[in-house]
């Protein structure tokens, strides 16, 4: 038996390390708890970390850089996409970096930043980039606003703001207005087919749909991002990872209307460390296997996360009828605060109008570790494993789990079609309700 004390110490040190990591983010932590975050939008200069970065930046642009202003970007409310495109082409081909100056707000229609470019190309966003709200601007490609494609050894940084101006899209979402047809709005920032990519020190906010997506990338490092949209904005996932190998996500503060981090099919070696999440739907693997598809996710580590007021904590969600696997997954050192489903595996995930029919096939969930997870839950069932009858969850390991009810009330665990092993204190215990085979 592991005594309880180390667990407590661990939580204290986890929280202490949050304070260190996010020392300069203090206001964000307060802000992320606010459902609509109005002062976040109004006080962009109040972010310690970012102002520090801004101060370190020379105002004049050195000869190794080009500015979008050199290509006619005005930041006067008109569209600056053409200037950005020309500046990009110049910087991409001529071994210089590209700068988006501070103190200005540039409006952009959807734009594709194509590679390949010269190696070690840096895009420095010091100012603000804001999306066009004219929906007919998105006719050619409704799925992307800023799309970075086929880049190798590329960095984006600078402490600036990328604002998807998403309100109009949210109002026209079928999730908000049920009389409207379901169409996918654009993702604010997408990196597609990139290799050796760094994205750091940026704020991404109010996206049309998802904030930031990595698709079919290899070797990605993401750090110090502040990602925010209102808790009721539809499908505004924070960081979406799909078909991507070797990605590290560090020190990000994410408050949104959907998953803070979502990890989808084809992703392997995904590490998320020091994540603050809330509001939002938590940190999710999946959904996987929609429309009877095959989906594989493996080698995921979520280490040191704080989730507050989210609908889920750490979640694996798969649709019935899919195939493939979600395996070798570790969730550890996680602090929950008033989270509705702190620990959840849901193999009956069904995010559509019609109810989903029962199917035999399922994405196999195996080798999942839950270690040092504590805090408070907003609901009674704090551990919820709803696994498939035909493909029960296997190799599930729990160690040092201590979840209580926010305020007062009972808690319980519910385990359906799962086998698990445990060590240390597991509170509450998970009652095995059904286990076939």
- Positions that interact with ligand NAG (CB under 6 A): 115-116, 134, 136-137, 150, 152, 177, 179-180, 266, 294, 296, 309, 324, 338, 340, 378, 406
Cα 411 to chain centroid distance, Å, stands at: 28
Q: Are strands 161-163 and 212-215 parallel, antiparallel or unpaired?
A: unpaired
Say whether 184 is catalytic.
no
Q: Least separation, in Å, of the C-beta of 436 and ligand NAG?
A: 24
Task: Give the C-alpha separation, 318 to 311, whole Å.
Answer: 17
Q: Least separation, in Å, of the C-beta of 313 and ligand NAG?
A: 13
Question: CB-wise, 150 or 422, nearer to ligand NAG?
Answer: 150
Pick the catalytic residue: 144, 211, 240, 281?
281
Greatest pairwise CA separation for the chain in angstroms: 69
Neighbours of 158 (CB within 10 A): 23
Q: Are strands 187-192 and 312-318 parallel, antiparallel or unpaired?
A: unpaired
Q: Name the phi and psi angles at 379, rounded to 5.
A: -130, 170
Task: Give the C-alpha separation, 188 to 147, whole Å.
Answer: 8
Query: Is residue 280 within 8 Å of 254, Cβ to Cβ?
Result: yes
Q: Least separation, in Å, of the C-beta of 309 and ligand NAG?
A: 6
Question: CB-wise, 24 or 33, nearer to ligand NAG?
Answer: 33
Q: Least separation, in Å, of the C-beta of 281 and ligand NAG?
A: 12
Q: Is 95 in a helix, a strand, or coil?
A: coil
CA triplet 353, 355, 360: central angle to 5 degrees? 135
Task: Give the C-alpha separation, 127 to 158, whole Å.
Answer: 8
Question: CB-wise, 62 or 179, nearer to ligand NAG?
Answer: 179
Give the pair of three-digit tokens for residue 56.
């370190």
Q: Least separation, in Å, of the C-beta of 374 and ligand NAG?
A: 17
Task: Give the C-alpha separation, 67 to 74, whole Å.
Answer: 11
Q: Which residues carry out catalysis?
A: 281
């Amino acid at each position: 038996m592991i005594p309880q004390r180390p667990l407590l110490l661990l939580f204290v040190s986890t929280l202490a390390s949050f304070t260190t990591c996010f020392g300069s983010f203090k206001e964000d932590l307060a802000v992320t708890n606010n459902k609509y975050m109005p002062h976040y939008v109004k006080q962009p200069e109040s972010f310690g970390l970012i102002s520090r970065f801004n101060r370190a930046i020379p105002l004049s642009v050195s000869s190794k850089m080009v500015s979008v202003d050199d290509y006619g970007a005005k930041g006067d409310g008109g569209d600056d996409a053409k200037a950005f495109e020309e500046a990009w082409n110049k910087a991409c081909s001529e071994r210089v970096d590209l700068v988006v100056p501070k103190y200005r707000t540039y409006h952009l229609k959807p734009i594709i930043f194509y590679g390949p470019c010269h190696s070690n190309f840096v895009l420095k966003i010091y100012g603000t980039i804001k999306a066009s709200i004219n929906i007919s601007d998105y006719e050619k490609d409704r799925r992307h606003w800023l799309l970075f494609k086929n880049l190798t050894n590329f960095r984006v940084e600078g402490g600036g703001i990328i604002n998807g101006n998403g309100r109009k899209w949210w109002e026209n979402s079928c999730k908000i207005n049920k009389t409207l047809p379901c169409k996918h709005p654009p993702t604010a920032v997408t990196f597609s087919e990139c290799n050796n990519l760094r994205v750091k020190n940026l704020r991404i906010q109010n996206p049309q749909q998802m904030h930031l997506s990595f698709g079919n990338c290899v070797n990605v490092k993401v750090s110090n991002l502040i990602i925010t949209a209102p808790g009721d904005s539809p499908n505004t996932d924070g960081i979406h990872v799909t078909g991507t190998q070797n990605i590290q996500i560090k020190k990000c503060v994410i408050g949104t209307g959907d998953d803070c981090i979502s990890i989808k099919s084809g992703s392997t070696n995904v590490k998320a460390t020091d994540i603050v999440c809330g509001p939002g739907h938590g940190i999710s693997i999946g959904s996987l296997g929609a429309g009877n598809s095959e989906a594989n996710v493996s080698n995921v580590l979520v280490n040191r996360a704080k989730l507050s007021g989210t609908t889920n904590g750490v979640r694996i969600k798969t649709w019935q009828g899919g195939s493939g696997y979600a395996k070798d997954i570790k969730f550890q050192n996680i602090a929950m605060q008033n989270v509705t489903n702190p620990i959840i595996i849901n193999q009956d995930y069904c995010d559509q109008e019609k109810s989903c029919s029962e199917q035999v096939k399922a994405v196999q969930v195996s080798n999942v570790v839950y270690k040092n997870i504590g805090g408070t839950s907003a609901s009674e069932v704090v551990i919820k494993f709803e696994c498939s009858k035909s493909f029960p969850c296997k190799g599930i390991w729990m160690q040092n789990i201590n979840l209580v009810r926010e305020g007062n009330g009972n808690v319980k665990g519910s385990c359906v079609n799962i086998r698990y092993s445990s060590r240390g204190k597991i509170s509450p215990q998970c009652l095995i309700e059904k286990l076939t085979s």
